[in-house]
Structure 1
C-alpha cells in the first residue's frame, strides 16, 4: 500500500452503520454511542482511508508510460547514429465493439518483434490501451526505428486481422503517447475488458527498467531505498534486489461487504474519541 493510491479521509464511525458488517480481518476499536453502556470505556479510533482503485491504476499507468517513453527516446538518441530515427505512431482498432480477446495485442507485438529481428533492428516501443466512446478498446503504439526502416501496415500484413490500423510519423513521440495515457478516466478504467492491460513497453535496457520500477514504487519506499536501489514488490512490502534489504509495508488493506476497499496504517497512533 503506498502513495500511488488516492485516498479520501473518513472516520471509522462514519463509514460503518449497523446494517453494514465489518470486513473480515478488520476490527474497529471505536464505539459510536455510550448511551445504555454506562461505565463502558471508550476505546481509541483508528483512521481509515478509502482506496480509489481505478485512480491508482491510472496513476501507475501514467507513470510507467511517461518514464518509459522518455528513457526509450533518450536511449535511441544516444546511439552511434543519434538523430537518424524514424518515429512512428500506430493505431490499432477493432471492427467489432466486443472484439477484444486476450492474446490479440501480444500476437501483434510478437509479429513486430520478429520483423525487426530479421532486419537486425532493436525494437523500442510504448503502448497505451484506450476505451473509445463506442465502448471498443483500441491501442496506440509509439515505435522508434532507425532511419530507412518502415513497418508495414499491420492489417495488410496480417498482424492485426481484427480491424483497421493506421501509421503516421510521430514528430513528438513522448507527447503523443503521454497525451493518450492522460485521457483515461476512472469511469473508463472500470469498463476495460476483464484481463486487459492498460499499457506496456519494450526495448528498455535493464537500467531503464530499474528506473521505471523506481518511479512506480510508493514515495515512502523511494525515500527509504534511494535511487540506487532496484526496487521490487514482494509479499508484505518491498525490497532492494541489489542488497536484499526488506521494507515491510506500514499499510493494511481490507475490503468491505459492498466491495469498498479501505486502508489503514499499523504504525498510526489511534486517536481518542471525544467525550
Structure 2
C-alpha cells in the first residue's frame, strides 16, 4: 500500500499512526491482529509505503481508505513477492528531503521472530553479513555497533573521506597493540 500526501505542507508524523489505528481497529473487530511495517519516502511528494498482513477476504475499499487517509491518495495491491516489496521499501535514497527528527520507518503487531527480522533488516548490510544468525545489535556511540548478547563491538569497514566512502585499511580495525 502507498499513502501519498496531496500537499507536503500538510505532513504530520502522527498521521501514519492514525491510519494504522483505523486499520487495527477494523482487524480487532474481526478478531485479528494487524502485523505491519511502513517506511516514509520523499521521492516527489512525501508518501508512506506499507505492508499490511490482512486476513484472506478482507478488502480495504476506496471509500474506507479515503475516510481513513483524507490527506491525499492511496494505492493498494496484493503483494505476491514480499521480499521484493520489502527490498523496495528498504531503499533509503531520498533521506535528505525528509523533515528532520522524523521516524522514517516503523512496524507493529509482530511476534518476536518478526520483531527480530525487522530490527535486523534495519542494520547496515556489512553488519548483517557478520552478525550471527538470530543475533541483534545496537549502535554504540563513538565505536560502531555492539552485539546485544555478547557485547562484542563491530566497527564499520567503511570510513568517510572528502571523496566519499572508502574501505578502511585492515590496520584501522585492529585493536590497539595488535598486529595484522
TM-score computed with the length of structure 1 as normaliser: 0.48
Q: Does 1:178 align with 2:87?
A: yes
The aligned residue for residue 104 of structure 1 is: 15
Aligned residues: 167
Query: Structure 1 residues 232, 194: closer, same or farther in 2, change over 3 A?
Result: closer
Partner of 1:204, secondary structure, is: coil
Unaligned 5+ segments in structure 2 are none
Partner of 1:140, secondary structure, is: strand
The aligned residue for residue 152 of structure 2 is: 247
Q: 2:132 aligns with which of 182, 203, 226?
A: 226
TM-score computed with the length of structure 2 as normaliser: 0.68
Q: 2:146 aligns with which of 224, 228, 238?
A: 238
Q: 1:166 aligns with which of 56, 75, 99?
A: 75
Q: 1:139 aligns with which of 48, 53, 60?
A: 48
Q: Does structure 1 conserve the Cα–Cα contact (< 8 Å) formed by 2:41 and 2:95?
A: no
CA distance in 2, matches of 1:180, 1:211: 15
CA distance in 1, matches of 2:71, 2:113: 35
Q: Which aligned pairs between 1:57-72 and structure 2 lie closer than 5 A?
A: none
Q: Give the structure, 1 or 2, with the largest relative contact order (CA under 8 Å, sep 6 or more).
A: 1
Q: Offset of 1:168 from its aligned partner?
A: 2.9
Q: Does structure 1 conserve the Cα–Cα contact (< 8 Å) formed by 2:2 and 2:47?
A: yes
Alpha-carbon displacement from aligned partner over 1:64-95 (angstroms, at most 9, x marks no partner): xxxxxxxxxxxxxxxxxxxxxxxxxx221112
Q: Does 1:130 align with 2:41?
A: yes
Q: Offset of 1:249 from its aligned partner?
A: 5.2
Partner of 1:139, secondary structure, is: strand
Q: Does 1:156 align with 2:66?
A: yes
Q: Offset of 1:209 from its aligned partner?
A: 2.0
CA distance in 2, matches of 1:220, 1:176: 22
Q: Does structure 2 conserve the Cα–Cα contact (< 8 Å) formed by 1:129 and 1:137?
A: yes
Q: Offset of 1:250 from its aligned partner?
A: 5.0
Q: Offset of 1:240 from its aligned partner?
A: 2.8
Q: Does structure 2 conserve the Cα–Cα contact (< 8 Å) formed by 1:126 and 1:202?
A: yes
> Which entry has the higher C-alpha Rg, 1 or 2?
1
Alpha-carbon displacement from aligned partner over 1:166-220 (angstroms, at most 9, x marks no partner): 33333334323433544x52xx211112233333333332123224434526746
Alpha-carbon displacement from aligned partner over 1:110-146 (angstroms, at most 9, x marks no partner): 221122112111212232322233xx20112222212
CA distance in 2, matches of 1:122, 1:138: 24
Q: Offset of 1:105 from its aligned partner?
A: 1.0
Query: Structure 1 residues 181, 231: closer, same or farther in 2, change over 3 A?
Result: closer
